[in-house]
Amino acid sequence: MTLNRSWLMLSALLLLTAGIAQAQDRHERLIWSDEFNSGAPAPSLANWKFDTGSNGFGNQELETYCSYQSSQAPCNSAKPNAFLGKDGYLHIVARSDGQGHYTSARIKSEGLKSFQYGRIEARIKIPKGQGFWPAFWMLGDNISTVHWPACGELDIMENIGKKPDTIYGSIHGTGFTGTKIGQPFALPHDQAFGDAFHTFGLIWSPKKIEYYVDDPANVYASFTPSSLPEGAVWPFDDGKFFLLLNLAVGGDWPGLPDASSKFPQEMLVDYVRVYGKSAR
């Protein structure tokens, strides 16, 4: 009888351990990545497309977003704003012509790769300087039908250049746009995020959004439906979201470039990785 009890306890322990291991494996399984080291000159068309234009994108931004090797002024095909370097990084470059015209790049995986739940991260070195606004973020696949903000927005990393030691993680949706639901993370001892690469990540579960820096254990912000104001709608369980990477110039939040702003400035991306459920 003692032997049977011991065997049952051991069996239960093994099953529990196996269950935990399987759960961890499901959560940590790499299901998609772009390492930006293909040797091609431009981001993969299987993963990314370019947003283009100069309409301010709802934020009074100053830049014109250019596609790869666009020759339509102010874009310059000899000086692309997004390219894969021989160093193995994606370079997103903000440029100025010295006459008040700025160009940059914004790439997105809309219609190509989208995800829901799991862990999503990118290793990035951001620029420094007044008026620069690098971002790694996501939007709901249904944006073309329900529009923003109903589609939902996940801002995994944003920085405004005048605060080089601080990044921000936030969420947006119907009833909570702007800066209502967000959290900053600051480096200690006057360090700047532009001094080195850092990993910016999202842990996404049903009814829960968490953001971290450099290590999934280093969660600095956590949001649930209870974080929202009364009447707001939680959109993050409604479907898949696609990825965006961009470097804006100017805008309501970062302010204008000034005499201290040096051009060109680069946002370097080592990789984007997604762990969890399968991409479509």
CA-CA distance, 207 to 85, in Å (whole number)? 39
The helix or strand, by DSSP H or E, that contains position 6, with its residue range, turns out to be: helix 2-28
CA-CA distance, 106 to 61, in Å (whole number)? 12
**Amino acid (one-letter) located at 211:** Y
Q: Which of 70, 93, 96, 72 is nearest to 82 (CA)?
A: 93
* Cα 153 from chain centroid (whole Å): 10
Q: Which of 245, 242, 226 is nearest to 280 (CA)?
A: 242
Q: Which of 112, 191, 193, 113 is nearest to 160 (CA)?
A: 193
Q: Does the active-site annotation cover 158? A: yes
Residue among 61, 63, 110, 153 flagged as catalytic: 153
* Cα 191 from chain centroid (whole Å): 21
Residue among 63, 110, 121, 158 flagged as catalytic: 158
Q: Which two tokens stand for residue 225?
A: 């439906």
Q: Does the active-site annotation cover 61? A: no
8 A C-beta contact, residue 62 and residue 253: no
Pairing mode, if any, of strands 118-125 and 265-275?
antiparallel
Residues serving a catalytic function are: 153, 158
